[in-house]
Homo-oligomer: A and B are copies of this chain.
């Protein structure tokens, strides 16, 4: 759920006075996005999104995220463009929190992923990677392989209460993933989104009625990491059906469309199964941690960590890249 921080009208007016956006027309909390407070903002200049960054986001990292979005938008990626105030600064303060206004992106995120979504997604991801190639400032992946063992340790005490034997299974799986992980420099790296779930991708119908990507949002997990890891995240997030089965048609559409714009190196293709297991354990561990740490009365949707245990098991049993749709 969203909107943790309430903004008084006086504070909002004072904040908007620093922008060349004209008179305030509307301001509504958006029920989407888990990490930050998002408001739909309408002014005489049009529609915008106002984001107040909540505690999970490190304020020192915000300039990197905003600079990346500005870089990508300037290269034609349909991502939120931070709007600068009249003094040229996009990152500001509102209601005691870091805050920024970004452009509004049209489109609807798919509540139910269809195979037709996956090719446009693959193309958009490849374009994102290509557009990020000349963004040089590095942000390490705070939730990459080095973070997983410490995260698993923090789940050790209560994890088996979520499912008996869970921690032993994850210990073994993690050891295997880390052993199979590509060596530093072995695979192409760059700026990745690292959280490109369906609710972060907007679609509109194209001229022939088929969906096309109209927007990529929520870059607050973006980082500098293996490009193919972004594909592994997407295969996890887009290609499983509600019954837990892997939809190889979706995966193939995603990977083929991606490779039309950025063909994967042989080493990337070989590493993909391990990267998929890595992405599965990353989301499994953060969900497990949140599950264990979220007080029952909290106003946050707890996401089932065990969904990703099933995905991890699938990828562990997958026989080579072709069974993943490559």
A→B interface (CB under 8 Å): 1-3, 6-10, 12, 23-32, 40, 42, 47, 104, 106-108, 110-112, 202-205, 296-297, 299, 301
Contact = CB atoms under 8 A, between A and B. Distances in A.
Contacts of A23: 204-205
Contact of A204 (B1, B24, B301): B24
A40 B107 CA distance: 12
Given A30-B31, A31-B3, A40-B40, A108 B24 contact: yes
A110 B299 CA distance: 23
- Chain multiplicity (copies): 2
22 contacts: A1-B1, A2-B31, A3-B31, A7-B111, A8-B112, A9-B108, A9-B110, A9-B203, A10-B112, A24-B204, A25-B107, A26-B106, A26-B107, A26-B108, A26-B202, A28-B40, A29-B31, A31-B31, A40-B40, A296-B296, A296-B297, A299-B299
Contacts of A47: 42
Given A9-B112, A108-B12, A30 B27 contact: no
Contacts of A25: 106-107, 204
A200 to B, nearest CB: 13
Nearest to A28: B30
Given A29-B32, A40-B40, A6 B296 contact: no
Nearest to A23: B205
A111 B6 contact: yes
Q: Which of A28, A30, A42 has the most CB of B within 10 A?
A: A28
A135 B311 CA distance: 58
Contacts of A107: 25-26
Given A8-B111, A8-B112, 6 more contacts: A1-B1, A2-B31, A24-B205, A26-B107, A297-B297, A299-B301
Contacts of A7: 111
A1 B1 CA distance: 9
Contacts of A12: 108
Contacts of A8: 111-112
Contacts of A42: 47, 106
A27 B106 CA distance: 8
Nearest to A37: B31
A203 to B, nearest CB: 8
Contact of A28 (B32, B205, B296): B32
A30 B2 CA distance: 10
A200 B32 CA distance: 21
Contacts of A31: 1-3, 28-31
